[in-house]
Structure 1
Amino acid sequence: MADMVGVAAALCSVSSFAPQIYKIWKERDASSVSLKTYALTVSCFILWVCYGLLTEAWPVTLANGCALVMASGVLIMKWRFERKG
């Protein structure tokens, strides 16, 4: 049961970035995205991946690695599509 909850949590964490990625990509506009928030989010996922590697906790590493990719995608698009007023 605990594994099922963990998998569900990981899927929710990773997929939670998809709507934001889709919206930015479709509109080519990331002005409503907070740079500080996503920079902090990416930093947190990097630390969780490091923790998972150091403790050999592969579920933590894998779930946070996937979330890191998604959050990094938002951050990269923030820099790429930022509209300078």
Structure 2
Amino acid sequence: MSELVANIVGSAAAVCSITSFAPQGVKIWKEKDASAVSLKTYGLTVTCFILWVIYGVMTEAWPVTIANACALAMASGVLFMKWRFRDNGPRVAKS
């Protein structure tokens, strides 16, 4: 496989990983409600990206480091909003 094709595939994967958090982040921000977001899932996702960034730095794999650092920022934003809007979820009427 040519290096160009590999770089195109890797770049496309990085863009998809980074932007995949945008719709969730925009939705939370507009609605000021993160009740549907799983704290455990995003906690694990952020941990995963932290580990990938560390791996990238340790191996000097800068494309891995940069792509995962950007994805980490996006996922951290969602996790922050989960914390920030934690009390603004849907209210259940008490009987």
Pick the TM interval, shorter chain: over 0.9
What's the C-alpha RMSD, in Å, of the aligned pairs?
0.9
Q: Which structure's CA Rg is the greater one? A: 2
- Cross-structure match for 2:59: 55
Per-residue displacement from partner, 1:21-74 (whole Å, max 9, x unpaired)? 000000000000000000000000000000000000000000000000000000
Partner residue of 1:38 out of 37, 42, 48: 42
Q: TM-score, normalised by structure 2?
A: 0.87
TM-score by length of 1: 0.97
**Aligned pairs, how many?**
85
Task: Give the number of the structure whose residues are more often helix, by fraction.
Answer: 1
Distance 2:16 2:6 in 1: 15
Q: Provide structure 1 residue ranges, at least 5 long, that are not aligned to the other structure.
A: none
Residue 16 of structure 1 pairs with residue 43 of structure 2:
no
**Identity fraction in percent:** 72
The match for 2:74 among 70, 73, 84 is 70
